[in-house]
A and B are shown apart, each in its own frame.
Chain A
Amino acid sequence: SQQGEEDPQALSIQEGENATMNCSYKTSINNLQWYRQNPGRGLVHLILIRSNEREKHSGRLRVTLDTSKKSSSLLITASRAADTASYFCAPLEAAGNKLTFGGGTRVLVKP
């Protein structure tokens, strides 16, 4: 079963706007990783946030983690057309080493 579940499934915004997507998971985790994927391509690692961290930034990306609610969010600020992609959250279970992905959020940034 897939543990990371993203919401919304799809998001359409204008260039320059912010995009926010959420992730929920079910079990205890060591960390949670966010990835971007363009159609037909591999996954590009964006950010890893550990279970003892609450917020992390990388360029225009901001990730939060709330372990009490078992949820995370990814914010992309000042979006660009090149940000058009699918975004996946992937919790790393505390009991193992595998990532469990949801179906992703498909983001369309219109120029």
Chain B
Amino acid sequence: DTGVSQNPRHKITKRGQNVTFRCDPISEHNRLYWYRQTLGQGPEFLTYFQNEAQLEKSRLLSDRFSAERPKGSFSTLEIQRTEQGDSAMYLCASSSSGRGAFTDTQYFGPGTRLTVL
């Protein structure tokens, strides 16, 4: 399957622990995005990479959150000292820039559901 993949699909952790999620984008896509979605709401943008450069971060991304895309391929999102308010679905998406009918289309992965106890 050549879609966006995310691991793990579910994560349960205790408050104060650190967690790390991984996203593997569609292979030819140079842009990668992280969003967060809480129950009953639409996704909210967290951050965006073009290749390995992190070009935009939301104010939602506190200093406990860090994202990397070291080689311009997969990305990781780490949350340090988790809080109960961090419980949400974390979604990753990827897209390609340039020309073509599917440019800018963001394809989403299945998400990682985080529960902080």
A-to-B contact residues, CB < 8 Å = 2, 4, 30-31, 33, 35, 40-45, 48, 88, 90, 92, 96-104
Partner of B42 from the list A4, A33, A42, A92 (CB cut-off 8 Å) is A4
A42: chain B residues within 8 A (beta carbon): 91, 108-111
Contact pick for B107, options A31, A40, A45, A101, CB 8 Å:
A45
Q: Which of A31, A35, A45, A101 contacts B44 (CB 8 A)?
A: A101
Contact across chains for B104 and A45 when beta carbons are under 8 A apart: no
Cβ–Cβ < 8 Å partners of B91 in chain A: 42-43
How far apart are the CA atoms of A44 and B77 in the complex, in Å? Answer: 22
Main DSSP-derived SS at the B contact region: strand
Inter-chain contact B42/A2, CB cutoff 8 Å: yes
Other A-B pairs, 15, CB within 8 Å; known A40-B89, A45-B108, A103-B40: A2-B42, A35-B108, A42-B91, A42-B108, A42-B110, A42-B111, A44-B108, A45-B106, A48-B104, A48-B105, A88-B42, A97-B104, A98-B48, A99-B93, A103-B42
